């Protein structure tokens, strides 16, 4: 699993999290609990251990986090991002001064548990869709822009670790025409234009490799939307029955299953099987980022006792 580059933005997030926990300008010593209770000369190993089954994401951040507390802290991954893990197994080891290790514990776990929770929930959706799909390889489970501010790159990486597919990263790398955009566009033309003509007109102004989504909320718009030729048609808040009809109509009008059809709105693990059986190409689910519970992961220090 290719992790995002450790760029200035991610380093800034980590720095903010560290400062939030140990205070501004205090250095690693901003933890009076460990200062008072842990021998500064005690060096040992500790293990990251999930308390429940799940999927890992975010382990690549751990060395960068530990470096804020001590250059002597060493992280060794025992399992990789994207791997399914069982409760009680050791997924990583940290060695070095225990005082600094325990100061770093919460920040490490906050990142690791949060991203692993997203990967775990995404995998649940991916596995459920695969079990009920009528066409191998579909539907893909996609994320949305409903992410924690500042954490989008990391949360979308976690979605990939769970087997999901990233939607556009942000506003800048794709065009998505939704209901409000279509209302606004109607004011730009002196005479009303069919939806297909609007899409074609805008397409001509786009860079050649920029994808376009067109959102529709009724099947009456579908044929015109297909003629317009967007890359994806977003079927907003449609029932499984309506989505199935949209797939059938698209396949009747297009021999190569283009444009791709994407169902969105109100889809959860309970109704996902019904949507997966429709033959739709993609299903976007905001919940895999905005509502994922953490994966409970603990840090267990090895005190050397049998």
From the list 215, 244, 262, 282, the catalytic residue is 215
**Residue 241 annotated in active site:** no
What is the number of H-type helices and E-type strands within the chain? 11, 12
**Residue 21 annotated in active site:** no
**Residue 146 annotated in active site:** yes
Quick check: 173 and 210 in contact, CB under 8 A?
yes
Integer Cα distance of 177 and 233 in angstroms: 10
What count of other Cβ atoms lies within 10 Å of the Cβ of residue 110? 16
Integer Cα distance of 261 and 283 in angstroms: 9
Integer Cα distance of 108 and 27 in angstroms: 17
Closest listed residue to residue 106, CA positions, set 17, 175, 192: 17
From the list 84, 106, 200, 203, the catalytic residue is 106
Biggest CA–CA distance in the chain, Å, is 82
From the list 236, 242, 249, 296, the catalytic residue is 236
From the list 84, 90, 146, 257, the catalytic residue is 146
From the list 84, 90, 178, 200, the catalytic residue is 178
Q: Which residues are catalytic?
A: 106, 146, 178, 215, 236
């Amino acid at each position: 699993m290719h992790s995002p580059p450790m760029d200035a933005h991610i380093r800034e997030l980590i720095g903010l999290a560290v400062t939030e926990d140990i205070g501004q300008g205090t250095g690693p010593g901003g933890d009076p609990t460990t200062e008072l209770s842990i021998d500064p000369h005690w060096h040992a190993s500790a293990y990251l251990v999930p308390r429940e089954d799940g999927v890992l994401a975010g382990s690549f951040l751990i060395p960068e986090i530990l470096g804020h507390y001590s250059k002597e802290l060493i992280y060794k991954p025992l399992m990789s991002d994207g791997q399914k893990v069982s409760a009680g197994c050791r997924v990583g080891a940290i060695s070095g001064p225990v005082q600094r290790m325990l100061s770093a514990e919460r920040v490490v776990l906050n990142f690791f548990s949060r991203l692993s929770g997203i990967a775990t929930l995404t995998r649940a959706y991916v596995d459920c869709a695969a079990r009920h799909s009528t066409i191998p390889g579909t539907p893909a489970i996609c994320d949305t822009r409903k992410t924690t501010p500042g954490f989008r790159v990391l949360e979308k990486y976690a979605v990939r670790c769970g087997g999901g597919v990233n939607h556009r990263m942000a506003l800048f790398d794709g065009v998505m025409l939704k209901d409000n955009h279509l209302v606004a566009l109607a004011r730009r033309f002196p005479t009303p234009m069919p939806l297909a003509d609007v899409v074609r007109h805008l397409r001509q102004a786009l860079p050649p490799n920029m994808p376009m989504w067109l959102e529709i909320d009724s099947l009456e718009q579908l044929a015109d939307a297909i003629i317009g030729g967007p890359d994806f048609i977003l079927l907003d808040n449609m029932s499984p029955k309506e989505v199935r009809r949209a797939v059938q109509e698209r396949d009747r009008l297009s021999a190569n299953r283009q444009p791709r059809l994407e169902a969105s709105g109100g889809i959860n693990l309970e109704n996902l099987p019904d949507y997966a059986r429709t033959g739709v190409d993609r299903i976007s689910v905001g919940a895999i980022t905005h509502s994922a519970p953490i994966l409970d992961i603990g840090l267990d220090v090895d005190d050397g006792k049998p």
